[in-house]
Amino acid sequence: MSRQITSVVGGAPVAGGDGHADVNPSDLADVVLEYGAVDAAAARAALESAAEALPAWSRTTPWQRSEVLDRAGSEVLARADELGDLLAREEGKTLPEARGEVVRAGQILKYFAGAVLQPHGHVLDSVRPGIEVTVTREPIGVVSVITPWNFPIAIPAWKIAPALAFGNTVVFKPAELVPGSAWELVDILNRAGLPAGALNLVLGRGSVVGPVLTTDPLVNGVTFTGSVGTGRGILDASAPLGRKVQLELGGKNPLVVVDDADIDIAVECLVQGGFGSTGQRCTASSIAVVTDGIHDRFVEAVRARLSRWTVGDARGAGVDMGPVVDPSQLAQDLRYLDVARGEGAEVVGGDVLDLGTAGHYMAPALVLGTTATHTINREEVFGPVVSFIRVANYDEALAAANASTMNLSAGVCTTDLATAAHFRRNSKAGMVMVNLPTAGVDFHVPFGGRGESSHGPREQGFAAIDFFTTSKTAYTAPGSPRT
């Protein structure tokens, strides 16, 4: 029998009903662990538990909260190999990628352990004589954290750590496909010294527990990362109720390659950005916008690089790219390739691979001869698929790059300082990369997009305080002023 895990409410395990198997996408015969999905009543109980824990947790000192996060961060870092192996096994990214993600989660916990000790308020003289004004930060209250499967520990960490750091309590609902990494993170934080109920784990279906976690009166804020459709639904349901809502949704991220680019750098940017983590990143470089003078040489160089790109078991040695996460994502990737063919594009690669073990393996795909209006350039595929748009010059490249409505990240490969500076200023994306892949960000600076990509305050780094606190402006007049 495989390992069993449960939801955690008020510090205690809660067994669910409906049994779910956490299956390894590299080897479908390998069941990583099993859990029982909980129902709406358990989600409500988790919110009650978070609400009960809120007054005491929000009154702890910053040092107490810092110590919990710091201890948790140390344990995550110390167990990076083991947790990375679990993550690779349940999600399918390669071991180096998975270990890197775990280390990132540890760094995030450490960052917020430090951040909470920084000064966050203001003291000002009023514009009226003798009055003092203070602007302080207070927790927003009970926060629902809803996360996707593609970063099973880093995304939860970058939402839960600032939530707890600034005195909120949390109900955390991870994606159904990756409960193991989520359970470990919650276990580590609880053992690091959180009081019961400050952090609750709800393992359940989005359609069952999601509506409770987004619309129940006990919820003060919802931070969500996932698909555009689900995110919009959450916003439509929660915003009229006055909930604070933060959404990180899709991305359609262009990498512009102009004639003067260093071709080796550009190839690495595209291959790492487009096919790293099997292309299953909201910041993936999913469109290459390439000027005429370098287009054919660039495509050839990318093809040559991909001929040395090994697809295999996520935990295998020397593997560059693991499997697609599950059958429905694989079907979606293949469907987009069919649509592209139907609209006149040429697809190179993208075959389903039989590697001898039952797993969702797919070769990287290049989709050549597309324009900004092709379906594949307007919708997020979320797989190892990069489409190419050939343009005459930089101005056309910028226009094609800005044609997307999901402006999360955009990159340019150029050796010309003026082109780099122009792109940085004129890209519509929330994050811009120069001679770097569109994916791959730091934890101490804001993360987020524009257009349909994001809603609400930015996540991560020094921006995180904006969502996870609400500001209070207080005016104090001395009782009887002395002159």
Residue 248 annotated to the active site: yes
Q: How far is the CB of 262 from ligand ADP (least distance, A)?
A: 34
For residue 76, what are its two tokens?
A: 């995550």
Question: According to CB under 6 A, which one of 168, 230, 286, 427 is a site residue for ligand ADP?
Answer: 230
Binding residues for ligand ADP restricted to 131-160, rule: CB under 6 A = 146-149
Q: How far is the CB of 426 from ligand ADP (least distance, A)?
A: 30
Residue (207 or 483) nearer to ligand ADP, CB: 207
User: Which residues lie across from 406 on neighbouring strands?
Assistant: 451
Q: How far is the CB of 281 from ligand ADP (least distance, A)?
A: 11
Binding residues for ligand ADP restricted to 210-229, rule: CB under 6 A = 210-211, 214, 226-227
408 contributes a contact to ligand ADP by CB under 6 A: no
Residue (210 or 251) nearer to ligand ADP, CB: 210
Distance, in Å, from the CA atom of 161 to the CA atom of 184, rounded to the nearest integer, reads 14
Among the listed ranges 78-86, 112-120, 209-217, 251-259, the one in contact with ligand ADP (CB under 6 A) is: 209-217
Q: Which of 248, 380, 452, 459 is catalytic?
A: 248
Binding residues for ligand ADP restricted to 232-251, rule: CB under 6 A = 233-234
Distance, in Å, from the CA atom of 292 to the CA atom of 280, rounded to the nearest integer, reads 29
Residue (149 or 388) nearer to ligand ADP, CB: 149
Q: How far is the CB of 211 from ligand ADP (least distance, A)?
A: 6
Residue 269 annotated to the active site: no
Residue (87 or 289) nearer to ligand ADP, CB: 87
Q: Which of 91, 184, 269, 282 is catalytic?
A: 282
Question: According to CB under 6 A, which one of 105, 175, 201, 400 is a site residue for ligand ADP?
Answer: 175
Q: How far is the CB of 28 from ligand ADP (least distance, A)?
A: 19
Count the residues of the shown chain that bind ligand ADP, applying the rule CB under 6 A: 17
Residue (141 or 156) nearer to ligand ADP, CB: 156
Sketch the per residue contact string, 102 through 121, with ligand ADP: x for CB under 6 A, - otherwise: --------------------
Question: According to CB under 6 A, which one of 173, 281, 360, 374 is a site residue for ligand ADP?
Answer: 173
Among the listed ranges 74-82, 161-169, 172-180, 267-275, the one in contact with ligand ADP (CB under 6 A) is: 172-180
Binding residues for ligand ADP, rule: CB under 6 A, are 146-149, 173, 175-176, 206-207, 210-211, 214, 226-227, 230, 233-234
- Tell me which residues are annotated as active site: 248, 282
